[in-house]
Chains A and B, each alone.
Chain A
Amino acid sequence: MVYVTSWDEFVERTVQLFRASPESTRYCMKYRHCDGKLVLKVTDNKECLKFKTDQAQEAKKMEKLNNIFFTLMARGPDVDMSEITGKEHIEAQPAKKGRGRKQ
């Protein structure tokens, strides 16, 4: 399987994939600690899109994609995308605050 190199392209294509077949699409994440690698995968059993990273900065991007997919899946595929991206900024701040307190 070929990995998608560009993050923006990956997000765009995965959302398209989900919109096309919401009921069969799944989003998987694999984290291997000893290699320090994180692989994001979105597939609908016909097409498979993957993104691989070993950078800590990319964890933020993963969070964004998580947010997109949670919203799409919990609210149904017809949700407005601009709504999701708008909420991201609001959500990002309390998430950071919580991190400090918990540890």
Chain B
Amino acid sequence: MRGRDDGGGGVGSGRGMGRAGFFYNQTPFLMNLRACLSEALRQALFGLLLNDRYLFLLGCFLYRIFINALRFSCSIASLKSKAQRNKMKTAEQPIEYRCLVRATNGKKTISTSVGAKDHQRFQASYATILKAHMTALKKRERKDRKKAAEDKKEGGSKKPKRA
């Protein structure tokens, strides 16, 4: 596993992750063999990470807050060449779309592809990680919150949620 990580073309290398590196190196053993194989294949072909691994590394990126900016992007792809796609179109076969998701902190880039089956699960954990780490965003001002709380008390029996 480690040998592959080092030869991964700089895609999410485990170095410099500190304590997290332990878990990082252990994760492949938790997956089944088929997943490992397909991941190895995918990494070799596209430099893509398995979804869980991507999310984990994203957490590592975000954890090291001193980095200035993070860029995320996603775009559509079918992992097939244009000629193949056209063939499939003429044969009226359904094209399987995949969503390419990338993240970079300026030095390292990690990427994964999300299929139709697991996009919901991925989205949920992606959003959780992002929201947990975007702590620099301003919270609502106190005056507004108090006002909102008062309005809620007057209007309904629900207790005001605290952020």
Interface residues of A, Cβ cutoff 8 Å to B: 22-23, 25-36, 38, 53-60, 62-63, 66-67, 69-77, 87, 91, 94-95, 98-99, 102-103
Q: Is the CB of B123 within 8 A of A91?
A: yes
Quick check: B123 and A23 within 8 Å, CB to CB? Answer: no
Are B123 and A76 in contact, CB atoms less than 8 angstroms apart?
no
Within 8 A of A (CB), among B60-108: 65, 67-76, 95, 97-99
In the complex, B124 has a CB within 8 A of chain A: yes
15 contacts between A and B (CB under 8 A): A26-B73, A33-B67, A53-B137, A54-B138, A55-B140, A58-B137, A60-B131, A62-B127, A66-B123, A66-B126, A70-B74, A70-B99, A70-B123, A74-B99, A87-B120
**Chain B contacts of A53 at CB under 8 A?**
137
* B114 CB within 8 Å of chain A: yes
Question: How many B residues touch the partner, as a band?
Answer: 35 or more
- Inter-chain CA distance A91–B124, complex, in Å, is 7
A31-B69, A74-B116, A76-B97 provided; 6 other pairs, C-beta below 8 A? Answer: A33-B67, A33-B69, A33-B136, A36-B137, A56-B138, A98-B125
Q: Is the interface of B mostly helix, strand, loop or mixed?
A: mixed
> A59 and B75 in contact (CB under 8 A), knowing A31-B70, A36-B138?
no
Max chain A CB contacts within 10 Å: which of B74, B130, B138? B74
Considering the chains assembled together, what is the distance between the CA atoms of A74 and B65 in angstroms? 30
Contact B128 A99 (CB under 8 A): yes
Q: Is the CB of B68 within 8 A of A32?
A: yes
Closest to A73 in B: B99
A61 to B80, CA, bound (A): 32
B125 A26 Cβ-Cβ under 8 A: no
Contacts of B67 in A (CB 8 A): 33
**Which residues on the A side are within 8 Å of B115 (C-beta)?**
74
Most chain A CB within a 10 A radius of its CB, from B124, B134, B140: B124
Q: B138 near A55 (CB under 8 angstroms)?
A: yes
**Which of B71, B76, B132 has the most CB atoms of chain A within a 10 A radius of its CB?**
B76
Residue of A nearest to B127 (CB): A63
